[in-house]
């Protein structure tokens, strides 16, 4: 393929993409690419993937679903991180009694 034509196509598709990022849907490729996977990439990379035939631009429904799934995954990751930080300590009856006695004010008897 002529490089001039290739980069002209990349620039044309890049102009059609609104914003700095675009959601693309992968296509099956002979080198092992799996079809149907979505990714949010900079528009320059999105345009190049489209021209190379490795991906296509996502529809608005696919884009919304991708963003919702990503937000859900981020929230689930934050919850897992918080659960990993949770610490539990078991206290014996003796420990509880010692804490209670330390909290009671001492009586000063003259």
Q: What is the DSSP string of 35-89?
A: TT-EEEEEHHHHHHHHHHTSEEEPPHHHHHHHHHHHHHHHHHHHHHHHHHH----
Q: What's the pTM value of the predicted model, to 2 decimals?
A: 0.68
- Provide the b/e sequence for 11-43 (b: ≥16 CB within 10 Å): eebbeebeeeebbbbbbeeeeeeeeeebbebeb
Coil, strand or helix: which one is 104? coil
Q: What range defines the domain where residue 37 resides?
A: 3-103
Residue 54 covered by a domain:
yes
Query: pLDDT at position 26, please?
Result: 94
Q: What is the total count of domains within the chain?
A: 1
Nearest to 51 by CA among 16, 18, 95: 16
pLDDT in tens, the chain (110 residues): 789 999 999 999 999 999 999 999 999 888 888 889 999 999 999 999 999 999 999 999 999 999 999 999 999 999 988 888 877 778 899 888 888 888 877 666 65
Residue 110 covered by a domain:
no
Residue 26 covered by a domain:
yes
Residue 59 covered by a domain:
yes
């Amino acid at each position: 393929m002529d490089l001039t034509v290739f980069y002209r196509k990349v620039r044309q598709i890049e102009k059609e993409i609104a914003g700095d990022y675009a959601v693309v849907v992968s296509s099956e490729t002979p080198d092992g690419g799996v079809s149907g996977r979505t990714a949010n990439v900079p528009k320059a990379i999105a345009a190049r993937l489209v021209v190379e035939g490795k991906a296509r631009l996502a529809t608005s429904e696919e884009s919304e679903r991708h963003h919702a799934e990503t937000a859900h995954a981020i929230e689930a990751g934050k919850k897992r991180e918080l659960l990993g930080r949770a610490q539990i300590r078991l206290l014996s009856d003796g420990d509880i009694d010692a804490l209670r006695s330390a909290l009671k004010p001492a009586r000063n008897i003259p």
